[in-house]
Amino acid sequence: MRKSYLQLLFVLISLLCYSTGAWSAAGWTGYSTVSELNPTTSGRFLVKLKTAINPSDCKNKVMFFRDYGNKGSHYLFNTLLEALSRGKKVRLYVTGRCELNGYSEISSVSVIP
């Protein structure tokens, strides 16, 4: 019985170690204009922001995403759309979560004139 608990603990620790690649650092990107805003039918929108500062360790440093099902996603999308249409600079808060294509998940947008 004790041996099976130790095996289960080993498996859980191994899974935790292997899953850390899907998470990286959280924080604000640098300010930049939105290069692209891509609404998709796959349950998320994509944002391209060419910034020199990106605290995320995700593979792709200029692409970001937000799932439509997350609370407040429509506010983020509308803010980004407005900033894109007016040429305003934005910064994004990356959560530290990376998706399969290496894009960083965002949870906030900040706009400056």
CA nearest neighbour of 64 among 36, 85, 83: 36
* CATH class belonging to 22-112: mainly beta
Please enumerate in sequence order all residues whose Cβ is within 8 A of that of 42, keeping only pairs 6 or more positions apart, or say none: none
- Residue 69: is its pLDDT beyond 60? yes
- Residue 19: is its pLDDT beyond 50? no
Would you kindly state where each structural domain of the chain is located, as residue ranges?
A: 22-112
Query: Which 3 state secondary structure label does DSSP give 103?
Result: coil
- Residue 18: is its pLDDT beyond 70? no
